[in-house]
A and B are shown apart, each in its own frame.
Chain A
């Protein structure tokens, strides 16, 4: 009986494979994927650019004639751009030695450190902003916990510290991923020629590493330009009125939605001003990415000169150890402790009054909503992102190269500009009636789409096409080949992409706020708790719960992956 069932099942699988491998079905599916990408991911993301052109007269009338709006936009952009550039430079300076050590050195707490670096990724930025502010900042309205540094009053250094904390793990991860690809033998070869370790690394590995450095820079710049929730809670905690580009969009959006006028800004000017600001931020993000890529390609690293005595000195004796200690001390002080400092606050500040006064219904609803949005977005992205990755990695026309370049755009676009643009797009189109939950999900899909595609492309590039060709010569249909040969190999990359997509979605504030200020996902709930209700304790608690949800998911998936791999 079992035998027969199985064979029936298998027959069904083959029939499905036959059906899906028909070239017409195949073409239809790929066409749908491309259509989906252009119309529902890419177009909404940059819709605002078209809007600005169409509505240019409105923008002229409201923005260019209003000093107050111009001043606010300029100040916000100044903060966003200067912070992101400074932070990405720091990221690189400290990220390189740490990535180096993690890849090339063997030491006792290596695997511990490896997972330590990833921990802050699980903290939603709305909570992270609060945590960082508690640790470094002077906080007039919050009783600061013990061990807090309580040192910084101004917005600029605070923003730099915060963005360093959020971007550093991403930078280190992308640097280590690429460093692992570079053959160690080259460095050994350089050393047999008499080069000190430092010289070998600088003249041989580093020049080959340029693209990795560029990717890391782009990541860091894009993340710093993009963060909203964290910046809002950070600045609210130190009670600063400074705005960055992203917070300004969400503030304006809020007042637009609530129809509460802001001082010096006529209500009619809000929408054009937001569109203008969002378009500028998208423009800046895309330009920065472009410039970073060109710099990485063209810039000659100064390697045609050596400084033997200096380079020997830093390669020998205590120097490498000192370098490591400094780098890791830095990591702990500026990334790990600030990320989790709210735990100290949570333990110390436990108060029944705060718990009793909380809106528990909204709390539960927000958590439910967050998980719902993140799950739907991740599932949709897996189904559409994987075929997209195949188009990019396996089909070789110019079209795939164009797709390859375009897929990253939602990734670098600042999230509140993205959310604003997506909201504008869906309000603009006449087909689907206004449904805020749907819009929020669409914004999250756009935002996390690149994670799945990038990871899957990475996995596909690792897999030699020869295996697929062999299967095809043995008579396997394309779909069968994918199911039996390709998928088992790339599934770990897909899962990794899904984890990133899910956690990113769980932690996202800016896009949600900019699409619909009334949809309360958990990070939005946290922002409101800190900014409006000043119920810091509940905010910390919600953050911890989100961290637990994300990390539980990550750990179960990790465990099942490593179990499957061991098999």
Chain B
């Protein structure tokens, strides 16, 4: 059964370092998403795994077998490509049966695979069409079927649906996950779309500038990210820079911001010291806004209001001079003084990065 072990993988193109120190284990039957902004090394990682490029250092084992030196066609995986890469001179049926065809199986066997796969992706009626006559979604379904027809247990999906329309994307990503789970496959799904990653994956690997930033389930990464980058990249966040003024015995940390604004928050993991510079990060839904003065809160002015559907999104300029976004069910008008109470458990405290907040949050 396929599990993939990647140890200390590095890849350089000349002097350019594309990947460095990548350690990753993918379990049998797992649906793993590799998420990162464009240029982060996602595609290089996949190209190393599949053998499209040679690795510079480290080791890759598929199913316990070191794959170094094994050519693409002999590695045990199936792949769906970003640009779909259907063979333009073959019909849907011919595309789908390409893998059994090149392995020279008997014609009756071939027919069986063909009808099974066509049924699986629901393309029976289009089987004699050429790829150019298909919609984007149907093309990608054909590509998925072509990959599945290899009967490999490891499926690699390189941005499989990012070229399609939003609605098609949403339907197709559930369809792909369902197929993978039903057939008991291991899947590696590359994407730059965090919503897509969260909705399909069992676990997400966040990649940035050739390095793994964080690995975890979608919930873990969303609600308790360990890095500022993840906090920013996955979902929306507000960031406030401040200094710890006091740590009380009940683990409550008091932080003061610019212009004498301060709050007390709870901390669960990192050991902080008094006087340390920190960044407080919180999501728009993790604060309560009110017109009345409340304890332990930040003061600000509403400068904008948008109705999102079910709730309002406010733009607020705090007394600290920071601009933040907050969600609330209440209609508080589009201007005026407000008090903001952060949820003390959900707001997260990070050590202030050495090279500055901006540098850490940039995607490249």
Known: A188-B72, A207-B89, A306-B104. A194 touches B83 (CB 8 A): no
Residues of B close to A199: CB separation below 8 A: 102
Q: Give how many A residues have a beta carbon under 8 Å from the other chain's beta carbons.
A: 22
- Is A308's beta carbon under 8 Å from chain B? yes
A194 touches B99 (CB 8 A): yes
B85 touches A185 (CB 8 A): yes
List the one stretch of B74-82, B234-242, B322-330, B355-363 in contact with chain A. B74-82
- Is B73's beta carbon under 8 Å from chain A? yes
Known: A193-B146, A306-B102. A208 touches B89 (CB 8 A): yes
- Main DSSP-derived SS at the A contact region: helix
B83 touches A308 (CB 8 A): no
- Chain A residue, CB-CB nearest to B72: A191
B72 touches A192 (CB 8 A): yes
Q: How far is A203 from B78 in the complex, measured between Cα atoms in Å?
A: 19
- Is A354's beta carbon under 8 Å from chain B? no
Residues of A close to B79: CB separation below 8 A: 189, 192
- Chain A residue, CB-CB nearest to B79: A192
Interface string of A193-212 (1 = CB under 8 A from B): 11111011001100110000
- Chain A residue, CB-CB nearest to B82: A185
Interface string of B86-100 (1 = CB under 8 A from A): 011100000000110
Q: How far is A197 from B147 in the complex, measured between Cα atoms in Å?
A: 18
Interfacial residues of chain B within 43-62, with CB under 8 A of chain A in the complex = 50, 52
- Is A183's beta carbon under 8 Å from chain B? yes
Q: How far is A183 from B85 in the complex, measured between Cα atoms in Å?
A: 9
Q: For the complex formed, measure the closest distance between the CB of A461 and the CB atoms of chain B, giving whole angstroms.
A: 18
Q: Which residue, A186, A189, A200, has most C-beta atoms of chain B within 10 A?
A: A189
Q: Which residue, B83, B104, B150, has most C-beta atoms of chain A within 10 A?
A: B104
A195 touches B102 (CB 8 A): yes
- Chain B residue, CB-CB nearest to A196: B73
- Is A190's beta carbon under 8 Å from chain B? yes
Q: For the complex formed, measure the closest distance between the CB of A194 and the CB atoms of chain B, giving whole angstroms.
A: 5
Q: How far is A564 from B87 in the complex, measured between Cα atoms in Å?
A: 37
Interfacial residues of chain B within 265-294, with CB under 8 A of chain A in the complex = none
Q: For the complex formed, measure the closest distance between the CB of B15 and the CB atoms of chain A, giving whole angstroms.
A: 17
Q: Which residue, B71, B79, B87, has most C-beta atoms of chain A within 10 A?
A: B87
B150 touches A192 (CB 8 A): yes
A192 touches B83 (CB 8 A): no
Q: For the complex formed, measure the closest distance between the CB of B25 and the CB atoms of chain A, giving whole angstroms.
A: 23
- Is B103's beta carbon under 8 Å from chain A? yes
B98 touches A186 (CB 8 A): no
B87 touches A204 (CB 8 A): yes
Q: For the complex formed, measure the closest distance between the CB of B155 and the CB atoms of chain A, giving whole angstroms.
A: 11
- Chain A residue, CB-CB nearest to B47: A188
Residues of B close to A307: CB separation below 8 A: 104
Interface string of A305-333 (1 = CB under 8 A from B): 01110000000000000000000000000
- Is B101's beta carbon under 8 Å from chain A? yes
Known: A186-B85, A192-B72, A207-B89. A308 touches B104 (CB 8 A): yes
Q: How far is A204 from B73 in the complex, measured between Cα atoms in Å?
A: 15
B103 touches A190 (CB 8 A): no
Q: For the complex formed, measure the closest distance between the CB of A142 and the CB atoms of chain B, giving whole angstroms.
A: 52
Q: How far is A306 from B85 in the complex, measured between Cα atoms in Å?
A: 21
Residues of B close to A306: CB separation below 8 A: 101-102, 104
Residues of B close to A195: CB separation below 8 A: 73, 98, 102
Q: Which residue, A185, A193, A207, A306, has most C-beta atoms of chain B within 10 A?
A: A193
Interfacial residues of chain A within 157-214, with CB under 8 A of chain B in the complex = 183, 185-186, 188-197, 199-200, 203-204, 207-208
B85 touches A194 (CB 8 A): no
A186 touches B103 (CB 8 A): no
Q: How far is A203 from B97 in the complex, measured between Cα atoms in Å?
A: 13
Q: How far is A191 from B79 in the complex, measured between Cα atoms in Å?
A: 10
Q: How far is A308 from B105 in the complex, measured between Cα atoms in Å?
A: 10
Interfacial residues of chain B within 108-165, with CB under 8 A of chain A in the complex = 146-147, 149-150
Q: How far is A186 from B81 in the complex, measured between Cα atoms in Å?
A: 9
Q: For the complex formed, measure the closest distance between the CB of B132 and the CB atoms of chain A, giving whole angstroms.
A: 13
Q: For the complex formed, measure the closest distance between the CB of B50 and the CB atoms of chain A, giving whole angstroms.
A: 7
Residues of A close to B50: CB separation below 8 A: 192
A183 touches B87 (CB 8 A): no
Interfacial residues of chain B within 285-327, with CB under 8 A of chain A in the complex = none
- Chain B residue, CB-CB nearest to A204: B87
Residues of B close to A191: CB separation below 8 A: 71-73
Known: A192-B50, A193-B146, A196-B73. A185 touches B81 (CB 8 A): yes
Q: How far is A370 from B326 in the complex, measured between Cα atoms in Å?
A: 80
Interfacial residues of chain A within 396-446, with CB under 8 A of chain B in the complex = none
Residues of A close to B83: CB separation below 8 A: 183, 185
B52 touches A190 (CB 8 A): no
Known: A193-B146, A194-B150. A208 touches B88 (CB 8 A): yes
Q: For the complex formed, measure the closest distance between the CB of B283 and the CB atoms of chain A, giving whole angstroms.
A: 39
- Chain B residue, CB-CB nearest to A308: B104
- Chain B residue, CB-CB nearest to A189: B85
Residues of B close to A208: CB separation below 8 A: 88-89
Q: How far is A308 from B103 in the complex, measured between Cα atoms in Å?
A: 7
A194 touches B102 (CB 8 A): yes
Q: How far is A194 from B77 in the complex, measured between Cα atoms in Å?
A: 9
Q: How far is A203 from B149 in the complex, measured between Cα atoms in Å?
A: 18
Residues of B close to A197: CB separation below 8 A: 71, 73
B81 touches A189 (CB 8 A): yes
Residues of A close to B98: CB separation below 8 A: 190, 193, 195, 203
Pull 11 A–B residue pairs with CB atoms less than 8 Å apart, ordered by A.
Answer: A186-B87, A188-B85, A190-B98, A191-B71, A191-B72, A192-B77, A192-B150, A194-B150, A195-B98, A197-B73, A306-B101
Chain A positions near chain B (C-beta within 8 angstroms) = 183, 185-186, 188-197, 199-200, 203-204, 207-208, 306-308
Q: Which 3 A-B pairs have the closest CB atoms?
A: A193-B99, A195-B102, A189-B85
Chain B positions near chain A (C-beta within 8 angstroms) = 50, 52, 71-73, 77-79, 81, 83, 85, 87-89, 98-99, 101-104, 146-147, 149-150
A192-B79, A197-B71 given. 9 additional CB < 8 A pairs?
Answer: A185-B81, A192-B50, A192-B72, A192-B150, A193-B147, A194-B99, A203-B98, A203-B102, A208-B89
